[in-house]
Amino acid sequence: MLRLTIGTALRAVSRTATATPSRLPVLTSRAHLATSIRAASITGVRSIHTSYTTTTTINSSTAAATPSSSSSEEPLPTVQRTKNNTTIEIQPAQGSKYHHPKTTLNALWLRDNCPCPECIHPSTRQKLHASTQVPLDIEVTSHQALPEGLEIVWSKGLEDVGDWEAPEKSQPGHRSLFPWEMVLGSYGGTPTEHRAESRMNHAPILWDEELMKSKVLWLDYNEYMNTPEGLLKGLKHLQDYGLFFLEGVPREDQEVAVAAERIGHLRHTFYGPTWDVKSVPDAKNVAYTNLNLGLHMDLLYMEAPPGLQLLHSLENSVPGGTSIFMDSFKAVELLRKEHPLDYEVLCKTPNTFHYKNANHHLHYNRPTIVVDPLNDALTVNYAPPFQGPLELPADQMVAFYGALKKFAGYIERPDLQFRHTMRPGQCMVFANRRVLHARTAFDPTKGKRHLKGCYVDLDMFKDKYRTTLQAKNDGLF
Contact flag: residue 114 with Zn ion (CB under 5 A): yes
Cα–Cα distance for residue pair 24/389, rounded to 1 Å: 45
Contact flag: residue 119 with Zn ion (CB under 5 A): yes
Contact flag: residue 184 with Zn ion (CB under 5 A): no
Stretch that binds Zn ion, among 83-91, 116-124, 283-291, 336-344 (CB under 5 A): 116-124
CB of 153 to Zn ion, least distance (A): 11
CB of 96 to Zn ion, least distance (A): 26
CB of 249 to Zn ion, least distance (A): 50
Closer Cβ to Zn ion, 159 or 247, answer by number: 159
CB of 154 to Zn ion, least distance (A): 9
CB of 3 to Zn ion, least distance (A): 16
Closer Cβ to Zn ion, 173 or 385, answer by number: 173
* Burial bucket for residue 429 (CB in 10 Å: 0-12, 13-18, 19+): buried
Contact flag: residue 256 with Zn ion (CB under 5 A): no
Which residues sit opposite 154 in a β-bridge?
140
Closer Cβ to Zn ion, 160 or 338, answer by number: 160
CB of 1 to Zn ion, least distance (A): 11
Task: Provide the residue type at 59 as one letter.
Answer: N
Q: If phi over 0 gives left and psi between -120 and 50 gives alpha, with beta otherwise, what is residue 186?
A: alpha
Contact flag: residue 116 with Zn ion (CB under 5 A): yes
Q: Report which of 336, 326, 339, 393 is spatially closest to residue 369, judged by C-alpha positions.
A: 336
Contact flag: residue 371 with Zn ion (CB under 5 A): no
Q: What is the DSSP string of 25-87?
A: ------HHHHTT---TT-----HHHHHH-GGG---TTTTPPPP---GGGSPPPEEEEETTTTE
Closer Cβ to Zn ion, 108 or 116, answer by number: 116
CB 354 within 8 A of CB 363: yes
Site size toward Zn ion (CB under 5 A) is: 4
Stretch that binds Zn ion, among 54-62, 113-121, 268-276, 451-459 (CB under 5 A): 113-121
Q: What is the DSSP string of 185-208?
A: IIT-S-HHHHHHHHS---------
CA separation, residue 191 to residues 34, 97, 126, 194 (Å): 19, 19, 22, 5
Closer Cβ to Zn ion, 118 or 240, answer by number: 118
Binding site for Zn ion (CB under 5 A): 114, 116, 118-119
